[in-house]
Structure 1
Amino acid sequence: MQRRQATLKEKLSEHYRKRDFKAKKQTASTAGVVFFLSMLVTVVLEGLVVLLPRYYTTDDGSMASGYRFAQFLCIWLFIETSVNWYNTYYDVANRVTKEMKATHYPATSETPPGWKNCPTCLLDAPPRSHHCSLCNYCILKRDHHCFVTGSCVGYHNQRTFVVFCLYTLISTAWAAFLQFCYLNEELPISTYWASFYFPLAGLWQYLVGAVSFINFFILIHLCCTLVSLGLVVFFLFWQLVIIARGQTSFEAWKQISIYRRRAVLNNFRDVFGELQNFLLLLVVPLRLPMPADGIKWVIEPKEEKGH
């Protein structure tokens, strides 16, 4: 007796019955990457096509001086932000491997002093490294998992993350300024159009045909830009604080300060390298060599009182 073939409806029903609809940890990381890339592309296109032409158009219809420079600046910020984003995203050098222990401790099979054995990776990890459940790797000097880049910020990409935050800060601040100027010219905030700047009120005014789609779109874009600006200000400030203190986010949370150098400048050198390298990194998004390997760390003795 032949077995009856399941219908398409039955196959779909069985598929969704077995499907796990619980939110995955990686979903937040994917959503963050999609949000950033969408914002990056739409902001630069909006700036070049809509915002800059409107801002630099004079009363007689000609372009004011500085328009070409503003276009160049917009493209340059886009390149710097996107390349530093990629340099942060590409965190392969941060991943702990078996070869790291073999290089520094070739004659022992036991966990070296100060190291720890990761039960997930099944290898020994150097000091300051931690396992990331999202990346599924142990990360050298792990600071945090960045949902915007979908990768971990650690020893080899912390400085590019800081530069990425800096350029994102400049870009979002400028974009928010241009977006507000555009909307304020179309719908002055000092008039009865002030209610439009509340998103729900703006949505209602768009649905009833009181405002155009482009105005409503730029309003939503402005809200997203302001949220991004607030987040990047926080992360940039926090990174500079913990770098100055010679800590990672985990160490600051656990109040671990044994890796802090006495001179604040040395704490910055541990992350950025020499000053000339950092200044070059600010202008050209290169992958410069780090000052050390991120495996061995010196614990400086505490200064006794009175000395």
Structure 2
Amino acid sequence: MQRRQATLKEKLSEHYRKRDFKAKKQTASTAGVVFFLCMLVTLVLEGLVVLLPRYYTSDDGSMASGYRLSQLLAVWLFLATAANWYNTYYDVANRVTKEMKAAHYPSSSETPPGWKNCPLCMLDAPPRSHHCSLCNYCILKRDHHCFVTGSCVGYHNQRTFVVFCIYTLISTTWAAFLQISYLNQDLPISTYWASFYFPLAGLWQYLAGAVPFLNFFILVHLCCTLVSFGLVVFFLFWQLVIIARGQTSFEAWKQISIYRRRAVLNNFQDVFGQLTNFLLCLVVPLRLPMPADGIKWVIEPKEEKGH
């Protein structure tokens, strides 16, 4: 008996019946990367084409002084933010490899003291390392998985992540100022147009034809900029706190402080290296060598009371 061929409708029905519609963790990481890249590109284009020309246009139609300098600053912030984003994204140096154990314990087949065996990576991982289910690697001194960069923040890129946050904070602050200044010229906040600055009210006024599309678009962009500003303030503040305490986010959550150095400056040097290196990274987005290898860690002895 000849088997009947399934129709296209039956094939599509079977395909969607077997499809897993559950949200995956990687989806959030991909969405974060797409959101950031879209915001980065649209903000610099909006700033150069719309916001800066409007802000620096004088009453007689000429450009006020400082316009060209502001353009160069906008381009520089765009390039520096993008470069530090890439330096954080490129986290290959953070991945634990079998060569790391061979370099420190060449003749040992057992898991070294303080290390742990990862059943997923099938190798021994150094202290403070943790496996990331999204990256599918054990990460040296893993702090967290960053959904904006789509990578893990660990020993070799925590410094660039902090610099990336600093540039993002500067960029979003300036962008929000220019966006509010632009909207305030057409729709002054001190008048009845104040309701426009609430997103739902602004959407209603745009659909009713009371405001042009460009103003509504900049309002939506302003909301995204303010959300980005709030997130980067939180992450930058949190990073500075745990770095000062000599901890990772996991160690702070578990109240582990055995790697904390007695001097706060030493805790910062463990992440940023020498002050000159950090200042150089602020100006030029370089990946300079870290002060150590992120594999061996010294456990500070606890101070006795009264000493």
List runs of 5+ in structure 1 lacking aligned partners. Answer: none
- In structure 2, stretches of 5+ residues that fail to align are none
Amino acid at match of 1:147: F
Question: Aligned residue for 1:128?
Answer: 128
The corresponding residue for 1:260 is 260
Deviations 1:20-43 (A, max 9, x none): 000001000001001000000000
Distance 2:259 2:113 in 1: 16
Partner of 1:72: 72
Equivalent residue, structure 2, for 1:139? 139
What corresponds to 2:161 in structure 1?
161
Secondary structure of 1:256 counterpart: coil
Q: Secondary structure at the match of 2:64?
A: coil
Instruction: Give the deviation of 1:5 after TM superposition.
Output: 2.7
Corresponding letter in the other structure for 2:89? Y
> TM (normalized to structure 2)?
0.99
Q: CA deviation at 1:122?
A: 1.2
Per the alignment, in what secondary structure is the counterpart of residue 69 of structure 1? helix
The root-mean-square deviation of aligned C-alpha atoms, in Å, is 0.8
What is the rounded CA distance, in whole Å, between the counterparts of 2:198 and 2:38 in structure 1? 23
Q: Which amino acid aligns with 1:31?
A: A
Distance 1:253 1:300 in 2: 19
State the distance in 1 between where 2:155 and 2:8 align: 51
Offset of residue 2 of structure 1: 4.0
What is the 5 A alignment of 1:1-307?
1-307=1-307
Quote the Cα distance in structure 1 between the aligned partners of 2:109 and 2:183: 66
Cα offsets for 1:128-162 (capped at 9, x unmatched): 00011111110000000000001000000000000
Amino acid at match of 1:230: G
Deviation at 1:302, TM superposition (A): 1.5
The percentage of aligned residue pairs carrying the same residue is: 90
Please state how far the C-alpha of 1:257 moved relative to its aligned partner.
0.7
1:82, CA displacement in angstroms? Answer: 0.4
Hey, what's the Cα distance between the residues in 1 that align with 2:7 and 2:222? 49
Amino acid at match of 2:16: Y
